[in-house]
C-alpha cells in the first residue's frame, strides 16, 4: 500500500512537471530571443507559438490525469493536482486570449494620413523590405486621429515618450522614436510629422508578424497625449 502511494505521488509529480513545460518553454524562449541567443523565427514562431501551444494542450491533459490520480489520496496529492490544474488552465487561457487577440487586431502599421503616409526617414535602410504589408488608418484604429493644428516639437517628443518610445530625433517638422517590447524584443517605430495646420502620426512594427494591435494602441496613446499637451 505504501509503495502504491509513493508511486502515485511520483506520477502526479511527473504530471505536474508536464503541465509546467509550456510556460517554462515560453519563458526560456522569450529570454533567449530578448538576449539575442535565439532568432525570432525560432524563439517566437517555432518554440512559443507552435511547440508551446501543443505542450499547453498536453499539459491540460496531464492536469486532468493528475486530478484523477489524486482522488485516490486527495489529502496527500490534492495540492499537486491543484497546482497542475491552475498552471495548465492559466497557460491554455493565455494562449486562447493571445490567439483571439491576434485574429481580431488591426494591421501593425497605422497612419493618420493614408494619402501621403509619413516615412521613417533615418530608418529607411533598416526597414527596407521589412514590416507590415498593409497600412491602415482611422477606420481600423479609431483612436489614431491626426491633430488639425501644428504642434510644438517638444510636445511631439513628449507624446512619444508617454507612449513608451525612445526618442531618436526631434525637430521643427517631425519627431521620431522606437520602442522594443519587453519579452521578445520586437521593435515598433513611430513618427510624428508636423506641418502647418496638421500633425500626423504613424506607428509600424519592424516585422510582418501580428502583434495583437500594438501599433494601434501606441498610435492612439500618442494621439491622446498630443491632445492633452495642448
Give the CATH number of the domain where residue 135 resides: 3.30.310.80
Same domain, 41 and 146: no
Percent of the chain with pLDDT over 90: 74
pLDDT at position 187 over 70:
yes
Q: Which whole-number Å values give the CA distances from 128 to 86, 110, 122, 179, in the listed order?
A: 44, 17, 11, 18
Q: Which residues contact 19 (CB under 8 A, 6 or more apart)?
A: 59, 60, 62, 63, 66, 83, 84, 85, 87, 88, 91
Where does 70-209 show beta strands of DSSP type E? Answer: 109-111, 166-170, 174-180, 187-195, 198-205
Q: 97 φ, ψ to 5°?
A: -60, -45
Report the predicted TM-score, pTM, of the whole model to 2 decimal places.
0.84
Does 125 have pLDDT greater than 70?
A: no
Mean pLDDT of all residues in 147-153: 94
What is the Cα–Cα distance from 167 to 158, expressed in whole angstroms?
Answer: 9
Q: Look up residue 122 and give its three cell numbers.
A: 533615418
Inter-helix orientation angle 74-104/2-35, to 10° = 30
Q: By residue range, what is the domain housing residue 89?
A: 2-104
Mean pLDDT computed over every residue of the chain: 90
196: left (phi over 0), alpha (psi -120 to 50) or beta: beta
Average pLDDT over residues 1-11: 60
Residues 36 and 124 in one domain: no
Which of 104, 136, 165 is the last residue before a domain boundary? 104
Pair (210, 120) in one structural domain: yes
6 versus 124: which is more confidently predicted?
A: 124
> Crossing angle for the helix pair 52-70 and 2-35, nearest 10 degrees?
160
Q: Are 201 and 123 members of one domain?
A: yes
Q: What is the per-residue pLDDT for 1?
A: 43
pLDDT range class, residue 33, cuts 50, 70, 90: very high
Q: Is the pLDDT of residue 223 over 80?
A: yes
Beta carbons of 170 and 153 less than 8 angstroms apart = yes
> Does one domain contain both 78 and 116?
no
Contact 151, 158 (CB under 8 A): no
On whether both 130 and 153 belong to a single domain, the answer is yes
Residue tagged 497557460 (cell numbers): 91
pLDDT exceeds 80 at position 44: yes
Q: Are 90 and 47 within one domain?
A: yes
Is there a single domain that holds both residue 211 and residue 180? yes
Between these two residues, 133 and 18, which has the higher pLDDT value?
Answer: 18
How many domains, in total, are found in the chain? 2
119 and 223: one domain? yes
Compute the distance between CA of residue 34 and CA of residue 20 in angstroms, rounded to an integer: 21
Cβ–Cβ under 8 Å, residues 135 and 204:
yes
H or E segment to which residue 69 belongs: helix 52-70
Average pLDDT over residues 191-195: 96
User: Residue 124: pLDDT above 70?
Assistant: no
Residue with cell string 541567443: 37
Q: Which of 60, 83, 104 is the last residue before a domain boundary?
A: 104
Which pLDDT score is estimated for 184? Answer: 93
Per-residue model confidence (pLDDT) at position 126: 59
pLDDT computed for residue 19 by the predictor: 95
Model confidence pLDDT, tens digit, residues 96-117: 999 998 888 899 999 999 999 9
140 and 200 share one domain: yes
Same domain, 22 and 61: yes
Measured between alpha carbons, how far is 23 from 94 in angstroms, rounded to an integer? Answer: 10
Q: Are residues 98 and 132 in the same domain?
A: no
Instruction: Among 75, 104, 133, give the residue marking a domain's end.
Output: 104
* Mean pLDDT across 88-95: 96
Q: What is the pLDDT of residue 143?
A: 95
Amino acid at each position: 500500500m505504501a509503495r502504491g502511494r509513493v508511486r502515485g505521488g511520483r506520477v502526479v509529480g511527473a504530471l505536474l512537471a508536464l503541465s509546467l513545460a509550456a510556460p517554462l518553454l515560453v519563458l526560456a524562449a522569450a529570454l533567449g530571443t530578448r538576449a539575442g541567443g535565439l532568432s525570432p523565427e525560432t524563439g517566437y514562431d517555432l518554440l512559443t507559438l507552435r511547440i508551446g501551444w501543443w505542450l499547453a494542450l498536453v499539459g491540460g491533459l496531464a492536469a486532468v490525469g493528475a486530478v484523477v490520480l489524486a482522488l485516490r489520496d486527495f489529502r496527500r496529492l490534492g495540492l499537486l493536482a491543484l497546482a497542475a490544474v491552475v498552471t495548465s488552465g492559466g497557460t491554455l487561457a493565455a494562449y486562447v486570449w493571445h490567439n483571439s487577440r491576434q485574429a481580431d487586431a488591426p494591421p501593425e502599421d497605422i497612419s493618420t494620413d493614408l494619402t501621403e503616409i509619413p516615412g521613417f526617414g533615418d530608418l529607411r535602410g533598416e526597414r527596407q523590405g521589412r514590416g507590415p504589408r498593409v497600412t491602415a488608418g482611422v477606420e481600423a484604429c479609431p483612436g489614431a486621429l491626426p491633430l488639425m493644428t501644428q504642434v510644438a516639437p517638444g510636445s511631439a517628443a513628449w507624446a512619444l515618450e508617454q507612449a513608451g518610445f525612445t526618442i531618436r530625433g526631434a525637430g521643427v517638422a517631425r519627431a521620431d522614436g522606437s520602442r522594443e517590447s519587453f519579452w521578445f524584443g520586437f521593435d515598433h517605430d513611430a513618427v510624428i510629422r508636423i506641418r502647418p495646420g496638421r500633425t500626423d502620426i504613424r506607428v509600424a512594427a519592424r516585422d510582418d508578424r501580428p502583434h495583437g494591435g500594438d501599433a494601434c494602441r501606441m498610435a492612439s496613446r500618442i494621439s491622446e497625449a498630443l491632445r492633452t499637451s495642448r
